[in-house]
Structure formats: C-alpha cells, structure tokens
Amino acid sequence: MADPLIRLRGVSVRFGRHAVLRDLSLSVEPHQTVCVIGESGCGKTVTLKLLVGLLKPTTGDVLFENRSVSDLGESELTKMRLRMGFLFQQAALFDSLTVFENVAFGLRAKGGYAEADIRSRVRDRLTEVGLTEAAEPKMPAELSGGMRKRVGLARALALDPDVMLYDEPTTGLDPIMTDVINELILRTRSRRPVTSIVVTHELRTVHKVADRVVMLEPVGRLKADEPQVLYDGPPAGLATATDPRVREFVEGDAARRIGAEE
Ligand SMILES: Nc1ncnc2c1ncn2[C@@H]1O[C@H](COP(=O)(O)OP(=O)(O)OP(=O)(O)O)[C@@H](O)[C@H]1O
C-alpha cells in the first residue's frame, strides 16, 4: 500500500462548545478518489478547510506528505496550496475577470510563465472541460451554472494540481449538467495522477466517481464512545451496509428519524 498523501490523525474541531469533528482519523492514498458524504453539519466542509490549512484542528494532526499542515510557515503553506486545486459550490469565479483571466489567475499569481505558455495552458484546460475559444472573453455573469463550474474546474486544473478538492460540485445543477460535471471529475482523474476528495450529497456522483466513500455523522448525534465515521468502503457496499444510519441516508428514508424526534 502506498504511503498516504493526506492523513487526519485523531482530529477534533470545536467552535466554542460546538464539537464538529471528534477524534477523526482518515488516510487518503495517492490517486484515490474519496467521496465524503453525510448529513448537513457533519463537518464535510470543515474537513476540506483543514486540508488546505484554512482551519486548524483543536486537537490532533492534519498531515500532507507526512508533514503537519499546522507546522507549515506562510511560504510553505502557499507552496502546498499551489499543489491543490479547488472547485467550490459557487465555482467562486472572479466576477470582474473574463473566463480567460479567471483560468489564467493561478498561473499569473505563481509567476514564471511566459504569456504564450499561459495562453496555451488556458486553451488546453478550457478544451479539457469542453469549452471553446469563444468562451474566453466572456464574463462570469454571462455564464450558466454549469458553464461556471466548468470554468472553475479549468481554473483549478491550470497549475496541474496533485490534489483536487471538490465541495458540492454538482449542487444546484440539472441532471444532465450534473452528469457532465461527474464525467469531468472522472476524466480529470484518468488524464492525470491526481488525488481527489469530493464532498457531496449526490449519490449519483458517489457511484460515478468514488473509489471509496467515507460517511460522517454529526457529532451531536453520536453517543460518547461512537466513532464519527459510519462507513468507509467502496460505493457498492453502501446499500448493504450493516449500520442502519448508512442505509437510511442512502435510501433517503427519514421515517425512523421523525419517529425518534417526536
Ligand atoms: N468558522 C466557523 N465558526 C463556527 N461554526 C462553524 C464554522 N465553520 C463551520 N461551523 C459549523 O460547523 C458545522 C459543520 O459545518 P460544515 O460546513 O463542515 O458542514 P457540512 O457537513 O459541510 O454541511 P453541509 O452539507 O450543510 O454543507 C456547522 O454546524 C457549522 O455551523
């Protein structure tokens, strides 16, 4: 087994008295695609923020290539982040920049690229996500949700990241566009040796792109000694998981929950 690229070791995160992650341990091997699922508030986005060093664990360690992210200085943290591509829910494009400049942004920020190189990389990445040259001068406001996601993905891929982090990449998209984005996540992985973490609510995405699924439970629903990870395995095992909470989530069945809260 390869050394994990990313490792959470006994991580807890609290905001005041609110525990969001509790003693969470998770290792991600290079080139794996891991989907993180679980109901709202279970700490999926917080987990992504820990990985990029936007949040620090209250206790425990977050390791990237065996180095604790909390110990990295500002310049090392920047270097680590340049190796990671992000696709956030709203695609987070810069509204005042054209599609071309959005995709070029990381290349210009990193520096050292000739203008011709920037041009060809931007074009390559846009082609990769199925957009033509005609999209380059457009402003984000002119784009549909699906197009924005594609541009966001092209931008995230501009620097050839080692790690791709997707936060709800298909939320708010119609089924066809959802499938397009799922397909692009798959292709991204088959074209390059990238390690991916996908936070999602969409089971279609899980079944299409994941090598492995990790399901988290909100800490508030756990008994004192229960682990926060309810499921860790291949997507095909979700439907027959022994834990009824996993099957309820997968089947979208809230009957027991409503009964329990009455
Ligand atoms: N900076 C913060 N300060 C205080 N509370 C926070 C902060 N960031 C997150 N939280 C809380 O932590 C909990 C988990 O948040 P997180 O965004 O990780 O949930 P999630 O599993 O991604 O949920 P969703 O599926 O709704 O996006 C939430 O209750 C949220 O309010």
Distance 202 CA to ligand 1 centre (A): 18
**pLDDT level of residue 260 (50, 70, 90 thresholds):** low
Nearest CA owner, ligand 1 atom 3: 15
Lowest mean pLDDT among 2-6, 18-22, 109-113, 133-137: 2-6
Q: Name beta bridge partners: 75.
A: none
Which pLDDT score, from 0 to 100, does residue 127 have? 92
Which pLDDT score, from 0 to 100, does residue 256 have? 61
Work out which ligand 1 atom sits closest to the CA atom of 216: 21
For residue 45 and ligand 1, the question of a CB distance below 6 A is answered with yes
In angstroms, what CA-CA distances link 124 with 64, 94, 104, 163, 201? 29, 20, 11, 19, 30
Nearest CA owner, ligand 1 atom 7: 15
Distance 41 CA to ligand 1 centre (A): 5
Which pLDDT score, from 0 to 100, does residue 36 have? 97
Q: In whole angstroms, give the CA distance from residue 199 to residue 222.
A: 21
pLDDT in tens, 131-152: 999 999 999 999 988 889 899 9
Distance 45 CA to ligand 1 centre (A): 7
Work out which ligand 1 atom sits closest to the CA atom of 48: 18
More confident call, 43 vs 253? 43
Taking the whole predicted model, whether its pTM rises above 0.95 is answered as: no
For residue 218 and ligand 1, the question of a CB distance below 6 A is answered with no
Comparing CA positions, the residue from 172, 166, 252, 240 lying closest to residue 210 is 166
For residue 69 and ligand 1, the question of a CB distance below 6 A is answered with no
Q: Which two tokens stand for residue 74?
A: 């500002």
Domain range 6-259, CATH class = alpha beta
Distance 63 CA to ligand 1 centre (A): 21
Residue 35 has pLDDT above 80, yes or no: yes
pLDDT in tens, 203-259: 999 999 999 999 999 999 998 889 999 999 999 999 899 999 998 888 886 666 665
Please say whether the beta carbons of 102 and 109 come within 8 A.
no
Please say whether the beta carbons of 123 and 62 come within 8 A.
no
**pLDDT level of residue 262 (50, 70, 90 thresholds):** very low
Q: Mean pLDDT of all residues in the chain?
A: 90
Label residues 44-75 b or e (16+ Cβ within 10 Å = b). Answer: bbbbbbbbbbebebeebbbbbeeeebeebeee
pLDDT in tens, 146-203: 889 899 999 999 988 999 999 998 888 888 888 988 998 998 888 888 999 999 988 9
Which pLDDT score, from 0 to 100, does residue 196 have? 96
Nearest CA owner, ligand 1 atom 18: 43
Q: Which residue out of 22, 24, 44, 214 has the highest number of ligand 1 atoms within 8 Å of its CB and is therefore the one to mutate?
A: 44
Residue 78 has pLDDT above 60, yes or no: yes
More confident call, 261 vs 209? 209
